[in-house]
Structure 1
Amino acid sequence: MAIFQGTLLLIVLLLAPMAAAATVGGLGGAEEQLDECITPTICCQQDGPDVRFPFWLKGHHHQNCGYPGFDLSCTPESKYPVLQLPFSVNVFVKHIDYKSQTINISDPDPHGCFARQLQHLNLSASPFQFQTNGDFSFINCSQRQDSNFFDWFRIACLSKQSHQVYATRYDGLDISCTKMYTMSLPYEILDYSYGTITFDDLQLNWSKPECGKCEARGKNCRFKNNNNCSSSESQLSTECFGGKPKQGALPKLKIAGEVLGPTLLLVVVIAIYHVYRSNKMKKADQVKIDKFLEDYKALKPARYSYADIKKITNQFEDKVGQGGYGIVYKGKLSDDVYVAVKILNNVKGNGDEFINEVQTMGRIHHINVVRLVGYCADGFRRALLYEFLPNNSLEKFISSNQEKHSLGWEKLHDIALGIAKGIEYLHLGCDQRILHFDIKPQNVLLDNKFNPKISDFGLAKLCSKEQSAVSMTAARGTVGYIAPEVFSRNFGNVSYKSDVYSFGMLLLDMVGGKQNTVAQNTSECYFPEWIYKRLDQGENLGIQIEEDGDAKTIRKLTIVGLWCIQWYPVDRPSMKVVVQMLEGNGDTLTVPHSPFASTNPMPTRGTTGGRTFDSELEIISESE
């Protein structure tokens, strides 16, 4: 290391005179071709941008020195030069990058609302455009919307106590919201972590004139043949000039290169070897989680330190749950953003489940899947931060008849449909198929409007959409919800149909509940088998109903649940078909053959009302 530093110092000392000579030569050439329109001008403050062609500054340059639409103004009280965009939208120009042809703009009024001014912006008549943009609808809501809505971004300065304003790329509106107007904005200003839009530092670029090519070659830009600006399109063409070193400097550079070339090559070789050796040692010392987090450091969610976790949870003050995975606390990121902080136990295998959950949740964005806000991997301390859902898990509402009936069967049906859509998204909506392997009431959380959200992806697996089955070294999931093929391959291959089975058991749990009085009074009674016999024989299901239509809803949920828990995967519908069954009126649903009959495995094909399910499933290797 000392040899490397000494050699580098020597080369710097030897290169200094050469660099000075090159600089003098370059400046001399520019001075010989000095153009008053190219002379940089700084106004307003010393750290403001220098203004030169194609920009021109009113009061400092002649208007023919700049390109049309690139005029800036500056007053003694201005912090930065001001650019006027169509229509009458004034912005500060904080930075100009002449090589990439971009400018950074901001609101000139520190106490104003940039979003209100931008609604009048129309860049179609301007030489400047956003680099990447999309159309956003601005929505006025009479009450605050659930901050968990994906792609709803709150505009703080437009919102009042009486109403809230959001920007969204989708037109689906809540009943309490109205559309105000549509505006084109860049995606870079979206803050997914807090559900807001930041207007602090917007970036615009220009395509004409193409002076960036000159800047990249170390030259200046001006109107061709140094003509003055004209309204004629042919006379708006530009050219590069200046920036060449003096003729006398070239021989000096050639001699210096011949003398220092071998030494410079040696320094480069030593530097490459040093970097290679250093990287190799670092990789050998990294633990599995550190390597994973390095690969995924650019992903949302955000990473927090353990000190941040203690601050967010107010020193772990509000405990809201506990299980084999660890303890869950309620936390607060800001005044109106609450999170559930799951502190993971330091147990064997915890690292794999932690990586699995962060990796899986980082690619999921769906209204029926819980959103991972952040994570903590501080030494041996690990935590996961989720959006906070105030109504706890579905188990609370199906394990008690009183709670279940307070929701009503129509709402329970909507919850079942939402869960089905969430699982369908996991199977079909991502680049890779996501198999959850732990669908159960405890892992379905409810928001303040009782919308269901699937959680806990510690046992999830990823596989290609073209390959439908996975091989597994051990059973995973919760007893009572695990598909038969997960225990024994005699029933078929483990696949996405295993999640279908778990969902079917969840549906039957919703119908019967753990405290169903009929099932309790029947000794040695397995509720799914009991209700199948009643349904098959056309008897009353014995489930308490309160409103018209409840019996039809209960029958639909029961039939769909029984289709999903067929012993053999090929007899179960896909989640896409399950969603269609739940969305239908239920009159066309037929009762499946008994899922409890003991038969030999065979490649049968199941049907409901004419629908045909898939047959053979290809086996692929499990991917950790």
Structure 2
Amino acid sequence: MPKPKPQLPIHGLVAAIVVLLQLPELCVAKTRNKYCNSTVCGNVTISYPFRLATQPPNCGEPRFELDCDSNNRTVLSLNHGRFYVQNIWYEYSTIRAIDPNLAVDDCSLPRGSLLFWDKGPYSSVFPLSLMYVVNCTKAIKSSLYIDASRCPVNSSGSDPPPDSYVYFLGERTSPRDFDESCRIEATVPVIVQDISGFSTSDIYEKLLKPGFELSWTFGFKSQQASPIDALLGDLEYALQSYIDSFIHYLFKGPHIAAHASYYAPKSTYILCLQITGGFILARILPGIICLIGLVIYKWRRRHLCADDTIEEFLERQKDLMPIRYSYREIEKMSNGFKDKLGEGGYGSVFKGKLRSGYFVAIKLLGKAKGNGQDFINEVATIGRIHHVNVAKLTGFCVEGSKQALVYDFMPNGSLDRIIFTKENKVDLSWKKMFDIALGVARGLDYLHQGCDMQILHFDIKPHNILLDENFTPKVADFGLAKRFSVDDSIVSLTVARGTIGYIAPELVYKNLGGVSYKADVYSFGMLLMEIIGRRKNMNTSAEHESQKYFPSWIYDRYYHGEDVDLGDVTDDEKIMVKKMVIIASWCVQVKPNGRPSMSKVLEMFETDVELLQMPPKPFQLPFEVATATQSYASTKDQPHDSSTDETSDLLHSSNEISVSIF
């Protein structure tokens, strides 16, 4: 007579269901691990479910892949960082890891970021929380900021450089306490819930150098028994335990395992089903009530907040650098929206001031377009990048239909006010205009190939180039921007986007070639032409017919070696202007493959002008047809062909962004 097993009324049934769901994984795991032995990297033994990248594909699980580097150290790669593996306890399904910079005794700071929502198949082992490594441009006097420097400030080759200050900051720090001069360098795991009260040495010696632990769960606990045998045994035991619990414990009947020939009466089975149904209903009913409440909440929220898409986006973007402000804070920092800087189709821009005294520009968005897509584009793009020639997004606000973006304040406004405005015009030297053009080129080159993703702006124009107190240019307004993989040489767009006069021809005429980063190069060329002429490229009120379209006029003058009146300028400034004309002429070639990349443009800026050649004349059909459509309304009574109508419709279907002044 077999010995009865301990009873497991409901948990046995749950176990049976879980095992059934895991049957395919068990079978695959058995095949995948059939011919593999454990291996060693350094002092770490690697066996199922882990594998090395150098092992055959049938060994281990791909999601548990480790690396063995050139120093014979086992490396765990997560999406936002790499860590050295110190040990693996297979019996406890636990792995211990440490930041590589902490494994050496030098001035290096921890740099490997860990995000709780992005750890793949691993889960945290309590206690484990996160802390920020922040780099500040000034010293912060606050108990919340714990000095993170491992070496004296004056030591050579120190990390960070001597002119910056690095601190540890708890992950629960309020946005109000996050200083504007700081940026987040890394999100580091630490084996306590709160770092307040710890000194710098304590954090390194007691919290960081011991490493941190993660656990993993897999379909079954042991590989000793056959997966199929384990499945059948667990299933039989679960079903037997379930029925046995009712008959033996509730009704004092004989034990099934002891009396295989025993059959319970029909009424017993009916009662078992009734009790089971009642129990399931009791468990499900609270869930149904909660679900109904959640549906009602969502329904009401969708009616109160038209931009629910934005909230869902922000929930997924936990690693954004900008601070999220409340609308009340936005009102306070803008002093009730009294100092208005500008207005456009997107809304209005106001001058604001943070508590630290730092001035900001607050873009208060109007009615959201495309279900908040412009807001999402701007936050998702500019919220993660930092470059001297790209506008910095310091914060944002979303409360229902109220949306705002907070930027660094630009005292000198936008570039169009410098080159177009006649009243109170700031007369900059050609050297300064050359530096502005070079800065814009550097900013675009960074967007195209300096980030993890390729960022195409699609709306480069003087209105979207901001100037700080030193007239350093900042590429701004990413409402039309798109992010693509760096491997995508050609991207897919369903509609033309940009502003007439700067939009690349291939966005309208599909037969010219695919859409790529060369679209931004074309827009930069048109912007460069306007910097040279200090006027709009198309000017129908020009004195001479040949000067109405400035790029064509200036190209012809330089191509034929004719003098251009630049006023009282030096020989060096004449060379700068000539170089900008040559670069702009290359950038506005009609076919995309005729234009240089922004990296090549930067090389041309640094090249001797005598080594640069004028390109072929770039202004050919169908481009001339495209520019002609701007005067279509005044000539509609004159004969014209259908291609002109089609061009006009295509160009006016683009998303033109209004003037941005701040």
Tell me if TM exceeds 0.5.
yes
- Structure 2 residue identity aligned to 1:424: D
Q: Matched residues in 2 for 1:556 and 1:186: separation?
A: 48
CA change 1:497–1:204 in 2 (3 A) is same
Residues 347 and 364, structure 2, Cα contact 8 Å, conserved in 1: yes
Q: Matched residues in 1 for 2:391 and 2:354: separation?
A: 17
Q: Does 1:491 align with 2:512?
A: yes
Q: Matched residues in 1 for 2:105 and 2:617: separation?
A: 69
Deviation at 1:348, TM superposition (A): 4.2
After superposition, residues 393-542 of structure 1 pair within 5 angstroms as 393-399=414-420, 406-514=427-535, 520-523=542-545, 525=547, 526-542=549-565
CA change 1:124–1:151 in 2 (3 A) is closer
Q: Could you list the per-position Cα deviations for residues 581-620 of structure 1 after superposition, in whole angstroms to 9, with x for gaps in the alignment? A: 11223221110001013489xxxxxxxxxxxxxxxxxxxx
Q: Could you list the per-position Cα deviations for residues 77-116 of structure 1 after superposition, in whole angstroms to 9, with x for gaps in the alignment? A: xxxxxxxxxxxxxxxxxxxxxxxx9xxxxxxxxxxxxxxx
2:618 is matched with which residue? 595
Deviation at 1:470, TM superposition (A): 2.4
Q: Matched residues in 2 for 1:582 and 1:370: separation?
A: 22
1:294 is matched with which residue? 315
Q: Matched residues in 1 for 2:579 and 2:212: separation?
A: 65
- Structure 1 residue identity aligned to 2:502: Y
Q: Matched residues in 2 for 1:555 and 1:397: separation?
A: 20
CA change 1:209–1:530 in 2 (3 A) is closer
Compute the TM-score of the two structures, normalised by the length of structure 1.
0.56
Deviation at 1:547, TM superposition (A): 2.5
2:341 is matched with which residue? 320
Any idea what SS the aligned residue of 1:587 has?
helix
| Structure 1 range deviating more: 560-569 or 287-296 | 287-296
Any idea what SS the aligned residue of 1:317 has?
coil
Any idea what SS the aligned residue of 1:469 has?
coil
- Structure 2 residue identity aligned to 1:458: G
- Structure 1 residue identity aligned to 2:605: L
Q: Does 1:573 align with 2:559?
A: no
Residues 440 and 481, structure 1, Cα contact 8 Å, conserved in 2: yes
Deviation at 1:569, TM superposition (A): 0.4
Q: Matched residues in 1 for 2:594 and 2:606: separation?
A: 20
Q: Matched residues in 2 for 1:432 and 1:180: separation?
A: 31
CA RMSD of aligned residues (A): 4.7
Structure 2 unpaired stretches of 5+: 1-95, 97-102, 114-133, 143-147, 154-160, 185-194, 214-248, 251-275, 303-307, 624-662
After superposition, residues 324-339 of structure 1 pair within 5 angstroms as 324-339=345-360
1:559 is matched with which residue? 582
Q: Matched residues in 1 for 2:472 and 2:208: separation?
A: 50
Which of 153, 172, 191 pairs up with 2:137?
153
Which of 340, 347, 352 pairs up with 2:361?
340
Q: Does 1:390 align with 2:374?
A: no
2:572 is matched with which residue? 549
Residues 401 and 513, structure 1, Cα contact 8 Å, conserved in 2: no
Q: Matched residues in 1 for 2:575 and 2:209: separation?
A: 69
Structure 1 unpaired stretches of 5+: 1-100, 102-122, 135-149, 159-165, 172-178, 214-257, 601-624
- Structure 1 residue identity aligned to 2:334: T
Q: Matched residues in 2 for 1:377 and 1:589: separation?
A: 50
- Structure 1 residue identity aligned to 2:390: V
CA change 1:544–1:267 in 2 (3 A) is farther
Q: Matched residues in 2 for 1:396 and 1:529: separation?
A: 24
Residues 329 and 340, structure 1, Cα contact 8 Å, conserved in 2: yes
- Structure 2 residue identity aligned to 1:154: K
Q: Does 1:206 align with 2:206?
A: yes
Residues 504 and 519, structure 2, Cα contact 8 Å, conserved in 1: yes
Q: Matched residues in 1 for 2:209 and 2:464: separation?
A: 58
Sequence identity, in percent?
Answer: 40
- Structure 1 residue identity aligned to 2:445: E
Deviation at 1:388, TM superposition (A): 0.6
Q: Could you list the per-position Cα deviations for residues 423-482 of structure 1 after superposition, in whole angstroms to 9, with x for gaps in the alignment? A: 111111222111101000110001111111010000111111111222322221111111
Q: Could you list the per-position Cα deviations for residues 317-344 of structure 1 after superposition, in whole angstroms to 9, with x for gaps in the alignment? A: 1111111211110001124211101111
Q: Matched residues in 1 for 2:484 and 2:338: separation?
A: 40
- Structure 2 residue identity aligned to 1:507: L
Any idea what SS the aligned residue of 1:383 has?
strand
Any idea what SS the aligned residue of 2:526 has?
helix
1:304 is matched with which residue? 325
Q: Matched residues in 1 for 2:356 and 2:298: separation?
A: 41
Higher strand share: 1
Q: Matched residues in 2 for 1:130 and 1:273: separation?
A: 50
CA change 1:201–1:133 in 2 (3 A) is farther
Deviation at 1:374, TM superposition (A): 1.3
After superposition, residues 111-260 of structure 1 pair within 5 angstroms as 152-157=136-141, 186=168, 194-196=180-182, 203-206=203-206
Any idea what SS the aligned residue of 2:372 has?
helix
2:395 is matched with which residue? 374
Any idea what SS the aligned residue of 1:549 has?
helix
1:17 is matched with which residue? none
Any idea what SS the aligned residue of 1:322 has?
strand
Q: Could you list the per-position Cα deviations for residues 304-363 of structure 1 after superposition, in whole angstroms to 9, with x for gaps in the alignment? A: 222222111101111111112111100011242111011111154362211211111222
Residues 153 and 197, structure 1, Cα contact 8 Å, conserved in 2: no
Deviation at 1:205, TM superposition (A): 4.8
Residues 305 and 378, structure 1, Cα contact 8 Å, conserved in 2: yes
Residues 417 and 583, structure 1, Cα contact 8 Å, conserved in 2: no
Deviation at 1:185, TM superposition (A): 5.3
CA change 1:518–1:584 in 2 (3 A) is farther
Residues 506 and 512, structure 2, Cα contact 8 Å, conserved in 1: yes
Any idea what SS the aligned residue of 1:504 has?
helix
Q: Could you list the per-position Cα deviations for residues 137-176 of structure 1 after superposition, in whole angstroms to 9, with x for gaps in the alignment? A: xxxxxxxxxxxxx955211459xxxxxxx99x9x9xxxxx
Any idea what SS the aligned residue of 1:363 has?
coil
Residues 136 and 165, structure 2, Cα contact 8 Å, conserved in 1: no
Residues 365 and 371, structure 1, Cα contact 8 Å, conserved in 2: yes
Deviation at 1:293, TM superposition (A): 2.2
Q: Matched residues in 2 for 1:130 and 1:274: separation?
A: 50
Q: Matched residues in 1 for 2:404 and 2:282: separation?
A: 45
Q: Matched residues in 1 for 2:447 and 2:109: separation?
A: 34
Any idea what SS the aligned residue of 2:501 has?
coil
Residues 432 and 463, structure 1, Cα contact 8 Å, conserved in 2: yes
Residues 586 and 596, structure 2, Cα contact 8 Å, conserved in 1: yes
- Structure 1 residue identity aligned to 2:580: L
- Structure 2 residue identity aligned to 1:489: K
Deviation at 1:200, TM superposition (A): 6.8
Q: Matched residues in 1 for 2:179 and 2:327: separation?
A: 18
Residues 331 and 338, structure 1, Cα contact 8 Å, conserved in 2: yes
CA change 1:125–1:293 in 2 (3 A) is closer
Deviation at 1:498, TM superposition (A): 0.4
Deviation at 1:196, TM superposition (A): 4.1
Residues 445 and 453, structure 1, Cα contact 8 Å, conserved in 2: yes
CA change 1:336–1:547 in 2 (3 A) is farther
Any idea what SS the aligned residue of 2:596 has?
coil
Compute the TM-score of the two structures, normalised by the length of structure 2.
0.53
CA change 1:505–1:206 in 2 (3 A) is same
